[in-house]
Amino acid sequence: MTYKLIRLIAAVVIAAGAAQAHAGIIGWTTVGNSGVSNSTDGVVSIPSGYSSVNWISTYGGIDNNNGGYGGTNGSTVTSNPFLVSNAGDALAFQFDFITSDGTSSFPDYAWANLYDSSNSLVATLFTATTNPSGSAVPGIGAGLPAISATINPAAVTITTGPGSTVWSPLGTYSGECYQGYGKGCGNTGWVSASYDISTPGSYYLTFGVANAGDTEYDTGLAFAGTTIGGKPIGNVPEPPEFGIFAIGLAMMALLRRRKPT
């Protein structure tokens, strides 16, 4: 095998590994746009005790990916299956809803659903909507169902004002606010959710976010600390693609040592 051919193979391996490593959230299946933030990004900080947060956004969302709640486009992430060993084990996480949209005409929304191994809906854990007044969690409009998780704080309002929508996953709408502040745009800050699963078995979790009424003025959801019985789910620390990436780097290092003069 020639030096040039080996170098080409190594470059392809590295590119493939890098592409996979940056594709959404490791350990979750993404439809639309998702990612991981390792530091404070605009209004979304890293909660105490965590080193990163996951996120999804309608910016780059997929048409009709709306959870069945009537939105125009959106993004979802679904966890790998996880095992509940004991009746009453608590599923817990934190979330932060950020929206650049506003008014009652465009109630962008987010949700989290729990499913069992037969793909049956067990519970809608929380919903959130763009809301000009009153509580944003649970969400209103868009045919959203009642929620089953315990939310803390129990009443969640949107914080609005200059800078309240600055967050890079909103893309070109980061820092924007439809029809001005006080019309629904802003963020909820971090909210805790907990739900006791009554029956042992295999389950999976889906987070989603969707535009409503249009595909502009995007909305997103950050989430962190997803655990069952105190043990993390999702986010496999060293997936196979990182092994591929490492192999490519090793090949390049060997080539540097053997480069012909």
Name the DSSP class of 173: G
pLDDT digits (tens, 9 = 90+) for 193-210: 999 999 999 999 999 999
Scanning the structure block, which residue is given the tokens 């929206």?
99
pTM recorded for the entire structure? 0.82
Confidence grade of residue 43 (pLDDT, cut at 50, 70, 90)? very high
Distances (CA, A) of 144 to 37, 79, 124, 157, 219: 28, 21, 9, 17, 16
What value, to the nearest 5°, has the Cα angle with vertex 75 and ends 69 and 77? 105
Confidence grade of residue 211 (pLDDT, cut at 50, 70, 90)? very high
Note whether 132 and 142 are same-domain residues.
yes
CB 46 within 8 A of CB 52: yes
In a domain? residue 214: yes
At 134 the pLDDT is 82
At 135 the pLDDT is 86
Dist CA 68 CA 111 (whole Å): 11
Note whether 190 and 128 are same-domain residues.
yes
pLDDT digits (tens, 9 = 90+) for 142-162: 689 999 999 999 989 999 999
What are the percentages of helix, strand and coil residues in the chain, rounded to 5? 15, 35, 50
Note whether 103 and 20 are same-domain residues.
no
pLDDT digits (tens, 9 = 90+) for 109-145: 999 999 999 999 999 999 999 988 888 999 986 689 9
pLDDT digits (tens, 9 = 90+) for 68-113: 999 999 999 999 999 999 999 999 999 999 999 999 899 999 999 9
Residue closest to 17 by CA, chosen among 251, 183, 196, 261: 251
For residue 50, is pLDDT > 50? yes
For residue 10, is pLDDT > 50? no
At 143 the pLDDT is 84
Domain count, the chain: 2
Dist CA 198 CA 122 (whole Å): 10
For residue 239, is pLDDT > 50? no
% pLDDT > 70, the chain:
80
Beta strand extents in 158-244 (DSSP E only): 186-187, 191-197, 201-210, 219-228, 231-232
Note whether 79 and 198 are same-domain residues.
yes
Q: What is the CATH number of the domain that holds 128?
A: 2.60.120
Give strand pairing partners of 115: 121, 204
Higher pLDDT, 216 or 246: 216
Residue closest to 155 by CA, chosen among 132, 129, 185, 134: 134
For 231-235, what is the mean pLDDT? 80
Q: How many other β-carbons are positioned within 10 Å of the β-carbon of residue 211?
A: 25
In a domain? residue 247: yes
Dist CA 6 CA 3 (whole Å): 5
pLDDT digits (tens, 9 = 90+) for 169-178: 999 999 999 9
At 114 the pLDDT is 98
Note whether 107 and 22 are same-domain residues.
no
Cα-Cα-Cα-Cα dihedral of 13, 19, 22, 25, to 10°? -100
Range of the domain at 5: 1-26+238-256
For residue 9, is pLDDT > 90? no
Phi, psi of 251 (to 5 degrees): -60, -40
Note whether 102 and 191 are same-domain residues.
yes
For 244-255, what is the mean pLDDT? 45
In a domain? residue 53: yes
Note whether 49 and 148 are same-domain residues.
yes
Mean pLDDT of the chain: 85
Dist CA 233 CA 156 (whole Å): 26
> Coil, strand, or helix at residue 109?
strand
In a domain? residue 224: yes
Note whether 212 and 135 are same-domain residues.
yes
Confidence grade of residue 2 (pLDDT, cut at 50, 70, 90)? low
In a domain? residue 22: yes
For 202-231, what is the mean pLDDT? 97
Q: Which amino acid makes up residue 8?
A: L
In a domain? residue 261: no
Note whether 101 and 129 are same-domain residues.
yes
In a domain? residue 9: yes
Note whether 245 and 143 are same-domain residues.
no
At 133 the pLDDT is 85
Note whether 103 and 45 are same-domain residues.
yes
In a domain? residue 192: yes
Note whether 5 and 125 are same-domain residues.
no
